């Protein structure tokens, strides 16, 4: 048995993943990719998947202590770990990640001396993985000097970092020499960059005007005595021209793209475009249609310099700068091809149904060469050409093919990272503090953004410039070089659905597969791929052959669900494809792992249905879960569409042959026993109740996995995912406490849910996915929970009485009566008593007063509802007395109405007679 099947350092992984070395931010920054495990989670998953779980309790504690200490720093307890793993794997453990991405998991396995291997279906990811987990762990000391003027080896730096610095500097020199005439200096300095906007023809007066969403360039800063900067458009109606005029302070005019009056800025209709010449308005749909027709044009508006006092200072363009930008258009048109069939400007088409991931497609972009303006595109052509030429020169000078490929790869990684601050998807970002930055092209995780007004980085020293990006790369490489040694990982392009291994040769498979429809990896990275083909033309010629017929990455076997376009003609990446692909990949992992090995899977998603399908794939692959461990690893990420904070690290084993069938009612009891037997272990490990709910999946599926199938009383098979809910109920039952001696399960279902939720989260927000899980465990629908939970900022929390809406009657649940009482409390005892009377409840209703007291004890003292409920409990007798009076008065009023109605009936009868 492996350690991960009985124990995992959940608390330590959660803490280390939040920041510092354990987040892996340094490693992730080496190459732009869209998802990766925190370093701490990757390390813990690898170690616990390899170490045994001995029977001796003292030995268990010794190994647990070793693992915990290994999570205290980037290479903590490294030598001890190597020695421990060496005892169990004298030849080195063999570990595979078949969905390796940028290879965080193989990196940590390699650092621990394992024969680490990674496979990814994206050739972009495969190259990124080599840059992180392969090349930095090799010995390059035998390579000859690089063919550059003034080159000399520096004994104070490691060989790889030193040579990458030389290559990046040389590429920068060539790039700047080629582009200097298109980015003229002003005095002795290079501008940081330029503000641009797309222009459109007014449909009323036919004059072109720029689409600008904000006129703020730099917000004021009292700290620096800086009034800030803004600009206005000055138009010449007679000539039909415009120019940007800069002024100090906040804007004095409105931008040309504005939110229509009475509309929210989040309205789907978007901003209207107002012509500054004639004031004619253009809807968002019309703007989009004109963009698709190719009627938009780039217009350079302003330049940005550095200023010692305020940081970034904006100024008007010079005539030379205007002419230089125009000259870049002609220069780009004259660029020679990289080779046969490989144009200078990428002509590879953006797939037509790709509007979710490549948003410029909506605005008229047709190819990946359409995403930048002419000068930006020319710059990337020159960068790619410099990288490729330099790789050829290095090989001609005797540098090995592998080393030349590695050095060219790091230069290409910088070029790829430059895209994050390039294209028409990057705009100016003026912070309220007075600082100025640019947005990230991938600010929506794996989606390429678009903006009508955007910022272009120049040759100066600022965000998005070549020199600034090079500094970051060298810092990361030096960081890697300072780490403890290991053996380099082998990272390959391939598919997890057809592993190139014999049966039973791997000691462990540790992987982090795609999360359903979270990210469309290949579509998002095609922008990188088309440029990498050019920069690595001589270093990685295989890139010319791994794409589809249109020149982008092949997607036939990509295991994802398309968010949008999934139903487009010919699109195969749907749920059925994903489920089949994941099942096949897990089946291959089960085949390739040794008889005593484990398949460890990291997975996280907010939708219970996705979890049900995922676990069905695990079972269909012939695997059974043997452990499940939660960690909060996503708190510092954008989280994706599923809004997750917690991921599970799960261990699996190939299902034993000859399993019997099980009976549903017996398996349900077995699952409950199995889950509840683990709770003391989880408590000892410091798992909070919310984490224990997540962890319960492991023992539940382990119990179910002992059987070939589970049959109900009619002999029909039961969906194994049903037992996820059983497991959660077992945790709730085992960890729930009586409320004033009233068992929780004796409260009504709606109140029981509210009290359980308040115990777990108090008033704090939680992921919507957790609400869905908890509702399933409570046998309630989300519709039935309206008025208990409140949606806020992509999350849910316990509703406040001020937000609660509803009518109170005799059938109202206790939680609704409690909310209504808190809402009525500011109005005095009479209003509260009216609520009690309407609900037909009194001072003897133990469930009501227990609920009020329990909720007030959970919430912060200053919480208005906690104050109200505490006061209500104290005034219980008085409220009850007033309520009795209200009921008595109502009864008398009802009796008067009955008497009046009787008299009326008599009068009517007499008149009739």
Q: What would the DSSP string read from start to end of 285-335?
A: HHHHHHHHTT--EEEEEEEEEEETTTEEEEEPPPHHHHHHHHHHHHHHHTP
| DSSP code string of 418-449 | HGGG-STT--EEE-TTS-EEE--TTTTSS-B-
Q: How many residues does the chain have?
A: 913
For the record, the structure tokens of 360 come out as 């410029």
Number of neighbouring beta carbons within 10 Å of residue 830: 13
The helix (H) or strand (E) run that includes residue 576 is helix 575-592
Sign, Cα dihedral of 34, 36, 38, 39? negative
Sign, Cα dihedral of 758, 763, 764, 768? positive
Name the percent of the chain lying above pLDDT 70.
94
Q: Pick the closest to residue 850 from 818, 827, 821 (CA basis).
A: 818
Beta-strand relationship, 297-307 and 490-493: unpaired
For the record, the structure tokens of 484 come out as 């403890």
Number of neighbouring beta carbons within 10 Å of residue 570: 7
For the record, the structure tokens of 582 come out as 């994941």
Average of per-residue pLDDT across 613-633: 88
Q: Pick the closest to residue 85 from 104, 70, 102, 96 (CA basis).
A: 70
Name the band, by pLDDT with cuts 50, 70 and 90, for residue 269: low
Are 288 and 362 in contact by the 8 Å Cβ rule? The answer is yes
- Identify any residues that bridge with 311 across adjacent strands, giving them in sequence order: 307
Q: Identify the pLDDT of residue 696.
A: 85
Number of neighbouring beta carbons within 10 Å of residue 340: 6
For the record, the structure tokens of 34 come out as 């869209």
Q: Pick the closest to residue 130 from 512, 402, 514, 415 (CA basis).
A: 402
Beta-strand relationship, 795-798 and 766-767: antiparallel
Name the percent of the chain lying above pLDDT 90.
62
Which residues, at least 6 apart from 880, have a Cβ–Cβ distance to it below 8 Å? Answer: 836, 842, 843
**pLDDT, tens only, 694-712:** 788 888 888 888 898 899 9
* 891 or 337, which is more confident: 337
Strands of 281-282's sheet, edge to edge? 257-258, 272-274, 281-282
**pLDDT, tens only, 729-769:** 888 888 777 888 888 878 898 998 898 888 888 888 887 77
Q: Identify the pLDDT of residue 226.
A: 93
| Whole-number Å distance between alpha carbons of 300 and 315 | 12
Name the band, by pLDDT with cuts 50, 70 and 90, for residue 635: low
Name the band, by pLDDT with cuts 50, 70 and 90, for residue 641: very low
Q: Identify the pLDDT of residue 642.
A: 36
Q: State the first-to-last Cα distance of the chain, in angstroms, to the nearest integer.
A: 96
Beta-strand relationship, 311-315 and 272-274: unpaired
> 152 in helix, strand or coil?
coil
Q: Pick the closest to residue 370 from 428, 271, 292 (CA basis).
A: 292
| Whole-number Å distance between alpha carbons of 173 and 821 | 73
Rg of the chain over Cα atoms, rounded to whole angstroms, equals: 33
Q: Pick the closest to residue 594 from 68, 96, 34, 13 (CA basis).
A: 96
Q: What's the whole-number average pLDDT of the chain?
A: 89
> Quick one: 205 exposed, middle or buried, by C-beta within 10 A (0-12, 13-18, 19+)?
middle
Name the band, by pLDDT with cuts 50, 70 and 90, for residue 155: confident
| Whole-number Å distance between alpha carbons of 786 and 775 | 11
Q: Identify the pLDDT of residue 896.
A: 61
Beta-strand relationship, 311-315 and 297-307: antiparallel
Are 842 and 884 in contact by the 8 Å Cβ rule? The answer is yes
Q: Identify the pLDDT of residue 885.
A: 77
**pLDDT, tens only, 479-517:** 998 888 889 999 999 999 999 999 999 999 999 999 888
Q: Identify the pLDDT of residue 487.
A: 92
Of the listed ranges 250-254, 292-296, 412-416, 902-906, the least confidently predicted one is 902-906
* 419 or 646, which is more confident: 419
Average of per-residue pLDDT across 182-193: 89
The helix (H) or strand (E) run that includes residue 679 is helix 664-684
Look at residue 39 and tell me whether its pLDDT is greater than 90.
Answer: yes
Q: Identify the pLDDT of residue 645.
A: 64
Q: Identify the pLDDT of residue 353.
A: 82
| Whole-number Å distance between alpha carbons of 712 and 805 | 42
Which residues, at least 6 apart from 821, have a Cβ–Cβ distance to it below 8 Å? Answer: 832, 835, 836, 852, 868, 869, 872
């Amino acid at each position: 048995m492996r350690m991960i099947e009985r124990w995992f350092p959940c608390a330590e992984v959660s803490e280390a993943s939040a920041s510092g070395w354990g987040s892996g931010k340094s490693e992730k920054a080496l190459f732009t990719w869209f998802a990766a495990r925190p370093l701490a989670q990757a390390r813990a998953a690898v170690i616990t998947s390899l170490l045994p779980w001995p029977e001796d309790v003292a030995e268990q504690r010794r190994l647990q202590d070793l693992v915990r200490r290994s999570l205290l720093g980037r290479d903590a307890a490294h030598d001890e770990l190597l020695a421990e793993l060496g005892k169990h794997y004298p030849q080195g453990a063999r570990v595979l990640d078949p969905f390796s991405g940028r290879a965080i998991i193989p990196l940590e396995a390699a650092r621990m001396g394992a024969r680490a291997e990674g496979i990814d279906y994206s050739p972009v990811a495969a190259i990124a993985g080599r840059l992180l987990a392969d090349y930095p762990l090799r010995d390059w000391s035998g390579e000859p000097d690089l063919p550059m003027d003034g080159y000399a080896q520096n004994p104070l730096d490691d060989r790889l970092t030193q040579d990458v610095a030389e290559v990046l500097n040389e590429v920068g020199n060539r790039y700047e020499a080629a582009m200097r005439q298109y980015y003229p200096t002003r005095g002795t300095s290079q501008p940081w960059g330029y503000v641009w906007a797309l222009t459109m023809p007014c449909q009323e007066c036919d004059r072109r005007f720029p689409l600008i969403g904000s006129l703020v360039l730099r917000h004021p800063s009292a700290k620096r005595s800086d009034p800030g900067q803004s600009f206005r458009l000055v138009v010449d109606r007679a000539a039909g021209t415009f120019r940007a005029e800069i002024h100090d302070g906040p804007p004095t005019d409105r931008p040309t793209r504005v939110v229509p009056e009475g509309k929210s800025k989040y309205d789907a209709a978007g901003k209207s475009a107002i012509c500054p010449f004639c004031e004619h308005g253009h809807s968002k749909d019309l703007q989009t249609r004109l963009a698709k027709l190719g009627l938009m044009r780039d217009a350079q508006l302003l330049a940005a310099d550095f200023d010692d006092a305020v940081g970034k200072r904006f100024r008007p363009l010079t005539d030379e700068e205007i002419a230089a930008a125009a000259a870049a258009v002609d220069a780009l048109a004259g660029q020679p091809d990289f080779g046969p069939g490989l144009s200078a400007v990428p002509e590879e088409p953006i797939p037509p149904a790709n509007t979710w991931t490549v948003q410029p497609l909506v605005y008229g972009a047709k190819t990946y060469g359409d995403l930048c303006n002419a000068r930006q595109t020319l710059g990337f052509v020159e960068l790619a050409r410099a990288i490729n030429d330099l790789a050829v020169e290095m090989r001609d000078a005797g540098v090995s093919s592998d080393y030349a490929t590695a050095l060219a790869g790091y230069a290409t990684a910088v070029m790829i990272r430059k895209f994050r601050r390039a294209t028409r998807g990057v705009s100016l970002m003026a912070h309220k503090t007075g600082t100025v930055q640019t947005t990230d092209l991938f600010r929506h995780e794996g989606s390429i953004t678009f903006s009508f007004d955007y910022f272009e980085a120049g040759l100066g020293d600022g965000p998005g410039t070549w020199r600034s990006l090079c500094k970051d790369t060298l810092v990361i490489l030096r960081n890697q070089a300072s780490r403890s040694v290991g053996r380099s990982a082998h990272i390959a392009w391939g598919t997890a659905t057809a592993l190139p291994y014999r049966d039973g040769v791997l000691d462990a498979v540790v992987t982090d597969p795609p999360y359903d429809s979270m990210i469309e990896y290949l579509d998002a990275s095609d922008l990188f791929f088309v440029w990498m083909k050019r920069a690595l033309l001589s270093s990685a010629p295989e890139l010319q052959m791994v794409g589809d017929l249109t020149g982008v990455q092949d997607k036939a076997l990509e295991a994802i669900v398309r968010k949008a376009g999934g139903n487009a003609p010919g699109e195969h990446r749907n749920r059925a494809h994903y489920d089949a692909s994941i099942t096949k990949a897990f089946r291959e992992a089960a085949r390739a792992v040794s008889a005593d090995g484990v398949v460890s899977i990291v997975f996280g998603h907010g939708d219970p249905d996705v979890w049900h399908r995922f676990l069905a794939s695990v079972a269909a692959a012939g695997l059974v879960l043997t452990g499940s461990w939660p960690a909060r690893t996503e708190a510092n990420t954008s989280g994706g569409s599923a809004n997750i904070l917690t991921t599970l690290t799960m261990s699996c084993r190939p299902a034993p042959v000859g399993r019997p069938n099980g009976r549903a009612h017996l398996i349900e009891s077995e699952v409950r026993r199995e889950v509840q037997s683990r709770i003391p272990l989880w408590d000892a490990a410091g798992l909070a109740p919310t984490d224990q709910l997540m962890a319960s999946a492991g023992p539940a599926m382990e119990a179910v996995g002992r059987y070939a199938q589970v049959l109900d009383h009619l002999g029909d098979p039961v969906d194994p995912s049903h037992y996820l809910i059983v497991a959660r109920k077992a945790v709730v039952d085992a960890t729930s406490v009586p409320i004033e001696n009233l068992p929780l399960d004796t409260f009504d279902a709606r109140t029981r849910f509210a009290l359980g939720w308040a115990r777990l989260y108090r008033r704090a927000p939680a992921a919507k996915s957790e609400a869905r899980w908890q509702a399933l465990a409570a046998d309630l629908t989300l519709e039935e929970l309206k008025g208990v939970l409140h949606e806020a900022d992509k999350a849910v929390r316990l509703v406040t009485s001020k937000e609660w809406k509803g009518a109170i009657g005799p059938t109202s649940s206790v939680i609704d009566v409690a909310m209504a009482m808190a809402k009525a409390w500011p109005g005095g005892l009479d209003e509260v008593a009216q609520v009690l009377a309407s609900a037909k409840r009194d001072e003897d209703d133990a469930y009501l007063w227990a609920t009020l007291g329990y909720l007030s004890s959970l919430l912060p003292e200053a919480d208005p509802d906690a104050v109200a409920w505490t006061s209500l409990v104290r005034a219980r007798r008085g409220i009850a007395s007033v309520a009795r009076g209200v009921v008595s008065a109502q009864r008398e009023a009802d009796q008067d109405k009955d008497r009046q109605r009787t008299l009326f009936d008599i009068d009517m009868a007499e008149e009739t007679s």
